Amino acid sequence: MLSECKIGFGITGSFCTFDKILTQIKILKDEGANITPVFSFNTQNMDTRFFKAKDFIQRVENITGKDGFYTIQDAEKVGPGKLFDVMIIAPCTGNTLAKLCNGITDTPVLMAAKAHLRNEKPLVLAVSTNDGLSMNFQNIGKISNLKNIYFVPFGQDDCIKKPKSLVAHMDMIKPTLISALKNEQIQPILC
């Protein structure tokens, strides 16, 4: 199903999930997907205890075999060029989710998502946010009612130490993308 599928893969700054994201990008590539990475400014510029920014980007581009989009100008061409069959934002931080809900396009990932949605194609979100059950809970509810938006199933990642935190089950990216391409939300969303 994903062979020759054109996937936009937006990556925002929930750095603790980056190892899992690399695994999922490789799985999609091994299925024959044509993946274009889109990097948020934080992903491009912030070195963390998980990865140095340049090293992470190089690994993504080595797996996909493509240079990523780094600027809002790069991402703007997604819409008129009809570049993707489906786009995913993984991880989708609470900051990105809030901005998406309010039409703010101040990063390459958000611009690509906005441009992609104008073509009425599926946008898949893999949330990873420490405030998913508090300040961003309303945004999850708001965006889940929008056309062409689909969620990778998610749940609490540490209900004791981080009781408001939500994270997508990144191993569910592939089946979620396949369902979204059929205009179906994979179930259950909460697990």
Evaluate whether residue 189 is within a structural domain.
no
Mean pLDDT of 77-104: 97
Evaluate whether residue 187 is within a structural domain.
no
Which residues are 89's β-sheet partners? 10, 125
Evaluate whether residue 62 is within a structural domain.
yes
CATH number at residue 26: 3.40.50.1950
Evaluate whether residue 188 is within a structural domain.
no
Instruction: Round to whole Å and give the CA distance between 26 and 93.
Output: 21
The domain of 54 spans 6-181
Evaluate whether residue 11 is within a structural domain.
yes
Residue 43 in contact with residue 14, Cβ under 8 Å? no
Between residues 128 and 157, which one has the greater pLDDT?
128
Evaluate whether residue 191 is within a structural domain.
no
Q: What's the pLDDT tens digit per position in 5-63?
A: 999 999 999 999 999 999 999 999 999 999 999 999 999 999 999 999 999 999 999 99
Count of domains forming the chain: 1
Q: pTM of the prediction?
A: 0.96
- Whether the pLDDT of residue 93 is over 90: the answer is yes
Residue 122 in contact with residue 150, Cβ under 8 Å? yes
